[in-house]
Amino acid sequence: NIYFDLPHKAIAKGLSFQAKAYGEYTDKQTRDISHLVEWDSTDCSVVMPGINGIFTAQDEGDADIYAELDGLTSTHGSITVTPAVLVSM
């Protein structure tokens, strides 16, 4: 099984976040496999996957992210990209 942890359910446009993937092995051990999986998004115009689970919020909207490894696909996690926020003046 592959499952992952999303640090946020919503993120402002222009920001990045890192998801972590974990795999359960036949010996019942759970290991961090974030660096091994291929990350993807159901809408790359909203959330763009990068290396090691780093995603960038590209545009407002909703998308699901997921991870794949050796023919296994994780469950999907939903994320909402909200409008950009003011960070300095």
As a whole-number percent, the residues of the chain with pLDDT over 70 amount to: 100
The answer to whether residue 33 sits within a structural domain is yes
Mean pLDDT for the stretch of residues 4-23: 93
Asked whether residue 53 is assigned to any structural domain, the reply reads yes
Q: What is the mean pLDDT of residues 56-77?
A: 95
List the CATH number of the domain containing 8.
Answer: 2.60.40.1080
Q: Does some domain include residue 46?
A: yes
Q: How many domains does the chain have?
A: 1
N-terminal to C-terminal alpha carbon distance within the chain: 46
Q: What is the pLDDT of residue 3?
A: 87
- What's the whole-model pTM score? 0.86
The reply to whether 13 falls in a domain is yes
Helix-strand-coil split of the chain, %, nearest 5: 5, 50, 45
Q: 50 lies in a domain?
A: yes
In this structure, is residue 87 part of a structural domain?
Answer: no
The answer, yes or no, to whether residue 25 has pLDDT greater than 90, is yes
For residue 24, the enclosing domain spans 2-82
pLDDT for 14 equals: 98
CA–CA separation, 89 vs 4, rounded Å?
36
